[in-house]
Amino acid sequence: MGKEIGGDGFTGDDFVRFRHRLALETQHAHDAYSRDEFADDGLVAGFELEAWLIDEKLLPAPRNVSFLARMASPLVVPELSQFNVELNGTPQSLCGTALSQLESELTATWRQCLCIAAADGSSLIAIGTLPTLCEADLSLASMTPSRRYAMLNEQILALRGGRPLTLDIAGIDSLRTTHTDVMLEAATTSFQVHLQTPASEAARTYNASLLLAAPLVALAANSPFLFERALWHETRVPLFEQAVDCCDPGHPQHLRVTFGSGYLAADPTALFAENLSNYAVLLPFEVPGPLQSYAHLRLHNGTIWRWNRLLIGFDESGRPHLRVEQRVMPAGPSIIDMIANAAFYYGVVRMLTRQTVAPELQLPFAVASDNFYRAARYGLAAQLHWPGGHRRTAAELLERELLPLAREGLSQLDLATDDIARYLEVIAGRLRRRQNGAAWQLAHYAKHHDFFRLTADYLDHQRRLMPVHEWPI
């Protein structure tokens, strides 16, 4: 949920000053884009991986404070709950051996984390939602001690008028419960892929990412269980959307976690204007600095969790750039699976962005949105619409149309031939077996009826760095 903030509390004046500064920065971003002041350089890849700390009994271990102190790495940082941490990768120019470099760095960081965690009997696991998680684990007592997280919780509940959050998910089974804080969000861990893009291609890249969200979440689904109930193949999607729901009743377009409200036109900074118009400020913390630092815009943007989010960053010279954060993929099942998912995304988005006729013109936004929720619910078996009038299962669409596109796109980016072959074979193997993380978990539980055995076997396969399509049931 972002960087720490200072201060002890907020007043009405804080909100007024913040919103005034936010409006100025939003207008500045629009004007800067119009003046071509955003970087128009080549593509840069990056990621964030959220992971769980678990104890010897395979239960959540709320130990991230001591773990992070021992880890002492800028690449590993806290998350909302004390049993979650976030691993980051060093951004790589998307060419040559960038993909294998991302994998090598993540593998090294992961192994270091495992060694540090083992010192107090803990371990790490990358999985969308931990099968052994209980609702009682998600309390304010397990929140990471951070002013930012405490204030987010306070402000979201204030916007709800103190009403508890309602979780209502109908899937394979059904789950309905209420919760008095935002800690449900801690049950949703993801592998967030970043793509810094030339400013002139940012809108097309964002739109292509929206189109691709449905097949991508079907391909990567790895969160079928919550509180011992089988729900959606990617239960993170309805869970996260409901976990921080502070919108006005009857205004679903203002959800803080959402697929979005439409495709972008030419100016990508329209998203920041939408943030200003439609979303209440949650963290009105004043940050010193010039308008062009966009500190308030970035802070506000960080409290709106679209499944595809447009971000502003800065290169080493201080020039602003735009990047898309693709948020639909869960953590896990293995490191090579996650890098393969990223490779697939980068390749297909490249091709969709460069098509002569923009594919978003051929698929209404409402259909792309419906695709996304179908894919999250049904996984590889979901029936999806695609530009050109196709209607296929997600698995068929991925196998017949999108995997070849990914291969062509990665080749156009001049990525290493061996890397392209290695990562796309992982995707091809997963599609041949029709076995992603969600399918494996569901089949394992159907056979053994034991969430602890499921978690133990999952952890063993993950530690062996095996791609999920090779995992035995």
Q: What is 392-454 written as a DSSP string?
A: EEHHHHIIIIIHHHHHHHHHHTTB-HHHHHHHHHHHHHHHHHT--HHHHHHHHHHHH--HHHH
Q: What is 7-22 written as a DSSP string?
A: -S---HHHHHHHHHHH
8 A C-beta contact, residue 98 and residue 435: no
Predicted confidence at residue 36, as pLDDT, reads 97
Q: Which helix (H) or strand (E) holds 339?
A: helix 335-354
Query: Which runs of E-coded beta strand occur in 34-105?
Result: 44-54, 76-78, 84-88, 92-93
Could you tell me the two tokens for 71? 């880890």
Report which of 371, 380, 351, 346 is spatially closest to residue 193, judged by C-alpha positions. Answer: 346
8 A C-beta contact, residue 98 and residue 350: no
CB-count burial class (<10 Å; 0-12, 13-18, 19+) for 85: buried
What separation in angstroms does the CA of 427 have from each of 309, 342, 406, 411?
A: 25, 11, 10, 16
Could you tell me the two tokens for 273? 């204007």
Predicted confidence at residue 245, as pLDDT, reads 84
What are the mean pLDDT values of the chain's consecutive 10-residue runs (473 residues total)? Answer: 54 95 98 97 96 98 98 97 98 98 98 97 98 97 95 91 93 96 96 98 98 98 98 98 76 78 96 96 93 97 97 94 98 98 98 96 97 98 93 97 98 98 98 98 98 98 97 97
What is the distance in angstroms between the CA of the first residue and the CA of the last residue of the chain?
Answer: 35
CB-count burial class (<10 Å; 0-12, 13-18, 19+) for 52: buried
Task: Specify the pTM.
Answer: 0.96
How many residues in total does the chain contain? 473
